[in-house]
Amino acid sequence: MTAAPLRIVHIVRAPIGGIFRHISDLALAQTRAGHQVGVICDASTGGAFEAEAIARLAPQLALGIARFPMRRHVTPADIGAALSLFRHVRDLKPDVLHGHGAKGGVFARSIGTLLRLRGRKVTRIYCPHGGSLHYDPQRIEGRIYFALERLQERFTDGLVFVSDYEYSAYESKVAQPKVAARVVYNGLAPEEFSEVPPQADAADFMFIGMLRDLKGPDLFIQALARLESTYGMTARAHIVGEGEDRPRYEAMVRKLGLAERVDFLGAMPARKAFRQARCVVVPSRAEAMPYIVLETVAAKVPLIATRVGGIPEIFGRYADKLVTPGNVDELAAAMAAAFSDADAMRRRAEGQRKCLSETFNVELMNDRITSLYLETRGVKRQDKAGRSPETSTLVSASALANREAGSPGRHE
């Protein structure tokens, strides 16, 4: 059997942040490779920035973009949404349903299974992107989600993890995968590896990401206040992003007396935002493989980030510079060091960028994910080096340990 163009449908709940960036890049790369691709996402999530991104992407995809109501948590309303989704997906006649995030994974695998029962050969792929893997396995909510993940693996043909950390989290919290599984890093385009210098009136620091506690904007704000009270440093900062918790963070800025030095700029493209600050801060409490860290390093912008998810895999031999998540004192200390020695931060940014393009490449990301589709469908295909890619990737906690020590994990 030889490879033929596929009809691929990506399903995700929220068309925002890094997860939608991943889907957009992958969908366009698959389109360039000759496949027919479509995207399905929530109808109510996101603002003007996301709407513009969707409007740009939709005409480039043969199967278009469709939006349906999808709530974050499982509710009875999901039944109606699932029925509408099923009819739409059925009419698209997909070969591959690729679910992203917990909710996208539920819809992709359940609809794919129903179509298989009707005689269609549909490949069901799931990528958590963190999602339910962020839950604590000791809490009742976590136990419920992980039980559901174990159940759903019975209706899954392949798993994609965006970092060694994510694979290890699945392995320890859910189960050792019994289906084809592969670690595939998020990828950047070649033009993203050009430097973005700061403009003359750039702020000292910038937070960029979704405005929710998981991403740590509250920690960033507290650290800015600590810079002044502990280190006597008066820094200017921008907060870039949107989210339903924005009013709470704005109130926090006013309460801490930072209103004259901290601006909320809304959502904007990362490389446009980079020009407006001299150092980016990513104080996340949890991550999978954040695009914003990749984009910042590729643009040679000084970066402070926390030791969570796949971030140590990006930092490599610089992983010892990462900050403990949730520790405001440590975050403030790192920001104080950056504020007082900007030259050292720029030298580190140069070193971090050197090996990034070989590992975090959008075409490599597409090649490895699409080859997984083909292999789970029983199609033999050679990679660009003339080798037959492995059906599964064996990555364990030891791979993460190796990566954190500065050596890459296994990604055969």
Report the distance separating Cα 39 and Cα 51, nearest Å: 14
List pLDDT tens digits, range 72-105: 766 676 777 788 899 999 999 999 999 999 999 9
Cβ atoms < 10 Å from Cβ of 257: 10
pLDDT at 400 over 70: no
Predicted pLDDT of residue 114:
96
> What percentage of the chain has pLDDT greater than the value 90?
82
What DSSP string runs through 100-158?
Answer: EHHHHHHHHHHHHHHHHHTT---EEEEE-SSGGGGS-TTSHHHHHHHHHHHHHGGG-SE
Q: Which of 72, 149, 79, 141 is nearest to 109 (CA)?
A: 149
Predicted pLDDT of residue 80:
77
Residue 106, token pair as written in the block:
């539920």
pLDDT at 265 over 70: yes
Q: Which of 161, 62, 95 is nearest to 376 (CA)?
A: 95
Q: Compute the average pLDDT of residues 1-20.
A: 88
Predicted pLDDT of residue 73:
67
**Residues 6+ away with beta carbon under 8 Å from 99:** 10, 11, 12, 105, 106, 107, 108, 109, 124, 125, 126, 127
Report the distance separating Cα 330 and Cα 221, nearest Å: 14
Q: Work out the mean pLDDT of the chain and round it to a whole number.
A: 90
- Residue type at 156 in one-letter notation: T
Task: Place 153 in a pLDDT band, splitting at 50, 70 and 90.
Answer: very high
Predicted pLDDT of residue 358:
79
Predicted pLDDT of residue 74:
64
Residue 183, token pair as written in the block:
């670690």
Report the distance separating Cα 155 and Cα 44, nearest Å: 28
pLDDT at 403 over 60: no
Return the minimum-mean-pLDDT range out of 26-35, 77-86, 298-307. Answer: 77-86
Report the distance separating Cα 121 and Cα 115, nearest Å: 8
Q: Compute the average pLDDT of residues 338-352.
A: 94
Cβ atoms of 119 and 164 within 8 Å: the answer is no
pLDDT at 399 over 80: no
Which domains, from first to last, does the chain contain? 7-187+361-404 (3.40.50.2000), 191-357 (3.40.50.2000)
Predicted pLDDT of residue 380:
65
pTM for this predicted structure? 0.86
What DSSP string runs through 203-223?
Answer: BSEEEES-SSGGG-HHHHHHH
Distances (CA, A) of 93 to 7, 51, 125: 7, 26, 16
Q: Compute the average pLDDT of residues 228-248.
A: 97
Residue 158, token pair as written in the block:
């392949």
Predicted pLDDT of residue 69:
87
List pLDDT tens digits, range 168-204: 999 999 999 999 999 999 999 999 999 999 999 999 9
Q: Compute the average pLDDT of residues 18-47.
A: 95
**Residues 6+ away with beta carbon under 8 Å from 340:** 233
Predicted pLDDT of residue 408:
37
Predicted pLDDT of residue 129:
94
> What percentage of the chain has pLDDT greater than the value 70?
90
List pLDDT tens digits, range 120-152: 999 999 999 998 899 999 999 999 999 999 999
Q: Compute the average pLDDT of residues 320-348.
A: 97
Phi and psi for 183 in degrees, rounded to 5?
A: -90, 120
Q: Compute the average pLDDT of residues 107-129.
A: 96
Task: Place 279 in a pLDDT band, splitting at 50, 70 and 90.
Answer: very high
Three-state secondary-structure class, residue 38? strand
List pLDDT tens digits, range 37-50: 999 999 988 889 99
Report the distance separating Cα 45 and Cα 64, nearest Å: 18
pLDDT at 320 over 80: yes
Tally DSSP H helices, then E strands, for the chain.
Answer: 16, 12
Q: Compute the average pLDDT of residues 352-381.
A: 89
Cβ atoms of 22 and 53 within 8 Å: the answer is no
